[in-house]
C-alpha cells in the first residue's frame, strides 16, 4: 500500500510540476481527487490494524498535495497578471487636455472669493473717455499723478484706452445708489514697451464697497481675507501709507512673497514682500463727481494681476502671458 501511495504521489507530482496554466492545473486537481477516492476505497479493504497507519499516510499526502496545488495556483494567477495583453499604463489619445489661461485662472480665483463675500461683478468698456478715466477720479488734466499711468489715446485728450478699471466703478456709481459691493475685473492699457517684464496691457481686479459705516478696518479685512482665501491662510498682508488721487487715506498693499514665503529672495528683492495692490477710502471729490454726498463713505482696492499668475505658475517672463506658447499652457 505504501508503495502504491508513493507511486501515485510521484505521478501526480510530475503532472503538477508541468502545470503552467489554469486548465492544466485543473486536470491535475481532478486526477488528484480521483486518486484520493481510490486510496480511501483501497484503505477500507485493509485489516483494521493497518488502517490507522495507512490512513495517516493518505491524510498526510492529501494535506501536502493540497498545499502544493494552492501554491501552483497562486503562481499561475500571478503569471497571468503580469503577462496580460492589456497595458494599463498606456493612455489612448482620446481625451485632450483643455486649459484656461493663467491670468484668467487666477482672476477667477479672486472673482470666486469676492462673490462668496457678496460682491457683484461689474464690467465696462475698454475704450473710455477722459471724464471717466481721470476727471471724475479727482485727476484733473494737470494732475501729476497722471504720469503714473501713461495712456494710449484714440483722440487726444478725450478718448483713450482705460488705464485702470476704476472707470467701471465711476460708471457703476453714476447708475446705482449705495449700498453696494462690486468688483470690476478686466484688461487695462498703459504705454509700456514690451520686454520680458513689461507688457502694454494687463489685468486688474478692482473692488468698491460703498455704504454706511464702511471704514479702513473693513478694507483691511476684505483685502487680507481674499489673499488668505486665494493663496492660503499662511500669507501675511501689510498695509502702508501711499498716495492715489481717488482715495484718501490711501494704502499700498504688500503680501508675503509667494516665491520664498517671506524669507527674502530675488523676486522680492530680499524684502520678503511683494507689492500686489493699491487701496484706500474713496475720496469725497470722487463721490461728489458722481453725484453722491461728500459724506458718503466707501473703500476701493485694485489688484494688478499680471504678476500674481506669473508667480503662482512660475512663469519667468511677463510677456509670455500674451505670447501663448501652447506647449506651456498645456502644462497648466
Partner 1 sequence: MFKFSYNWLSAESEIKTDYEELLRWLDVQGFEIASIEDYGDDKAVEIEVKANRPDMLSVAGVLREYYAGKGRRQIKDFTPSLPITFGDDNSVLSHKIVVSSKDVHRYSAVEIRGVDNTGETPEYIKDRLTKSGVACINPIVDISNYVLLQIGQPIHIFDADKVKGDIRIENVPAPTKFTTLASTEIELPTGALLISDDENPLCVAGIIGGHAPEVTAETKNIIIESANFDHIIERVTSKKTHVQTAASYRFERGVSPATAIPGALICVKMITELCGGEYNKTGYLYTDNTKNDPQTMVVTKKRINSLLGSDLEIPQICKYLNDCFFETECDDGENIKVTIPDFRLDIDYDVDVIEEVGRMYGYHNIEPQPIKLYAPFAENPVNKNANKLRDMMVGFGFIEVLTYGFIPGNSMQMLHVKDNSEYYGDIKILNPLNNFYELMRPSLAYGLISTAIANMSVGKNDLRIFEVGKRFFRQKDYEDGYNEKNVFAALMTGVKLGRGFGIAKDAKFSVYDAVSLLDALLHEYNIKYEIKPTDELGMFEAGAGGDIYVGGKRIGYLGKIDPKVLLEFENGKLARDDVAYLEFCFEGFDETKRSIEFDSAYPSVTREYNFLVKNGIHFTDYSPCIRDASDIIVNVSPRDVYTGAGVPNGHTSVLIRVEYNDPTRTLGFEEIASVEKIFLSSLSEKFGISLKL
Say if strands 159-161 and 273-282 run parallel, antiparallel, or are unpaired: unpaired
Site for partner 1 in 258-277 (CB under 8 A): none
174 three-state secondary structure:
helix
Q: Which grid cell sits at 136?
A: 471724475
Of 13 and 240, CB closest to partner 1: 240
156 binds partner 1 (CB under 8 A): yes
Rg (CA), the chain: 39
For residues 16 and 65, give the distance between their C-alpha atoms in angstroms, rounded to a whole number.
9
325 binds partner 1 (CB under 8 A): yes
Rounded to a whole number of angstroms, the minimum distance from the CB of residue 233 to partner 1 is 14
Q: Residues 170-209: x/- map of binding to partner 1 (CB under 8 A)?
A: ---------xxx---x-x-x-x-xx-----xx-------x
283 binds partner 1 (CB under 8 A): yes
- Which one of residues 9, 15, 55, 243 is an interface residue with partner 1 (CB under 8 A)? 243
- Point out which span in 17-25, 32-40, 257-265, 324-332 binds partner 1 (CB under 8 A): 324-332
Rounded to a whole number of angstroms, the minimum distance from the CB of residue 173 to partner 1 is 13
For residues 250 and 281, give the distance between their C-alpha atoms in angstroms, rounded to a whole number.
6
Rounded to a whole number of angstroms, the minimum distance from the CB of residue 87 to partner 1 is 12
For residues 210 and 287, give the distance between their C-alpha atoms in angstroms, rounded to a whole number.
10
Of 258 and 282, CB closest to partner 1: 282
Rounded to a whole number of angstroms, the minimum distance from the CB of residue 296 to partner 1 is 12
**Contacts for 313-322: CB closer than 8 Å, 24+ residues apart:** 313/102, 315/102, 316/196, 317/196, 317/197, 318/196, 318/197, 318/198, 318/199, 319/194, 319/195, 319/196, 319/197, 319/198, 319/199, 321/101, 321/102, 321/103, 321/199, 322/199, 322/201
142 binds partner 1 (CB under 8 A): yes
- Which one of residues 242, 259, 260, 265 is an interface residue with partner 1 (CB under 8 A)? 242
Rounded to a whole number of angstroms, the minimum distance from the CB of residue 93 to partner 1 is 5
319 binds partner 1 (CB under 8 A): no
- Which one of residues 5, 227, 281, 290 is an interface residue with partner 1 (CB under 8 A)? 281
Reference 181, options 108, 229, 112, 122; nearest CA is 122
Site for partner 1 in 77-116 (CB under 8 A): 92-101, 103-104, 108, 111, 115
149 binds partner 1 (CB under 8 A): no
- Which one of residues 26, 77, 120, 197 is an interface residue with partner 1 (CB under 8 A)? 120
- Sheet containing strand 273-282, edge to edge, reads 120-121, 180-189, 201-210, 298-304, 273-282, 247-256, 237-244
For residues 281 and 319, give the distance between their C-alpha atoms in angstroms, rounded to a whole number.
33
Reference 65, options 8, 24, 113; nearest CA is 8
Site for partner 1 in 121-140 (CB under 8 A): 121-123, 125-127, 129
Rounded to a whole number of angstroms, the minimum distance from the CB of residue 314 to partner 1 is 18
Amino acid at each position: 500500500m505504501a508503495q502504491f501511495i508513493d507511486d501515485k504521489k510521484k505521478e501526480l507530482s510530475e503532472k503538477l510540476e508541468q502545470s503552467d496554466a489554469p486548465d492544466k492545473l485543473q486536470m491535475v486537481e481532478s486526477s488528484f481527487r480521483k486518486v484520493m477516492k481510490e486510496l480511501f476505497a483501497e484503505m477500507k479493504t485493509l485489516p483494521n490494524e493497518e488502517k490507522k497507519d495507512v490512513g495517516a499516510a493518505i491524510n498526510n499526502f492529501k494535506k501536502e498535495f493540497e498545499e502544493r496545488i494552492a501554491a501552483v495556483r497562486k503562481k499561475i494567477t500571478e503569471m497571468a497578471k503580469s503577462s496580460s495583453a492589456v497595458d494599463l499604463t498606456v493612455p489612448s489619445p482620446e481625451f485632450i487636455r483643455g486649459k484656461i489661461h493663467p491670468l484668467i485662472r487666477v482672476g477667477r480665483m479672486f472673482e470666486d472669493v469676492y462673490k462668496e463675500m457678496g460682491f457683484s461683478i461689474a464690467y465696462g468698456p475698454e475704450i473710455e473717455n477722459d471724464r471717466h478715466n481721470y476727471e471724475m477720479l479727482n485727476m484733473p488734466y494737470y494732475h501729476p499723478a497722471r504720469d503714473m499711468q501713461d495712456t494710449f489715446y484714440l483722440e487726444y485728450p478725450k478718448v483713450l484706452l482705460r488705464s485702470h478699471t476704476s472707470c467701471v466703478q465711476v460708471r457703476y456709481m453714476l447708475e446705482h445708489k449705495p449700498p453696494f459691493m462690486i468688483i470690476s475685473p478686466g484688461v487695462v492699457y498703459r504705454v509700456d514697451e514690451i520686454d520680458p517684464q513689461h507688457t502694454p496691457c494687463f489685468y486688474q481686479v478692482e473692488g468698491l464697497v460703498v455704504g454706511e459705516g464702511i471704514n479702513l478696518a473693513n478694507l483691511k479685512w476684505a483685502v487680507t481675507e481674499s489673499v488668505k482665501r486665494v493663496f492660503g491662510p499662511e500669507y501675511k498682508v501689510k498695509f502702508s501709507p501711499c498716495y492715489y488721487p481717488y482715495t484718501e487715506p490711501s494704502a499700498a498693499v504688500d503680501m508675503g512673497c509667494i516665491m520664498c514665503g517671506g524669507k527674502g529672495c530675488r523676486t522680492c528683492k530680499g524684502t520678503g514682500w511683494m507689492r500686489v495692490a493699491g487701496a484706500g477710502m474713496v475720496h469725497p471729490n470722487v463721490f461728489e463727481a458722481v453725484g453722491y454726498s461728500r459724506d458718503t463713505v466707501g473703500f476701493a482696492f485694485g489688484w494688478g494681476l499680471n504678476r500674481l499668475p506669473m508667480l503662482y505658475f512660475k512663469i519667468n517672463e511677463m510677456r509670455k502671458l500674451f505670447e501663448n506658447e501652447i506647449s506651456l499652457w498645456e502644462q497648466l
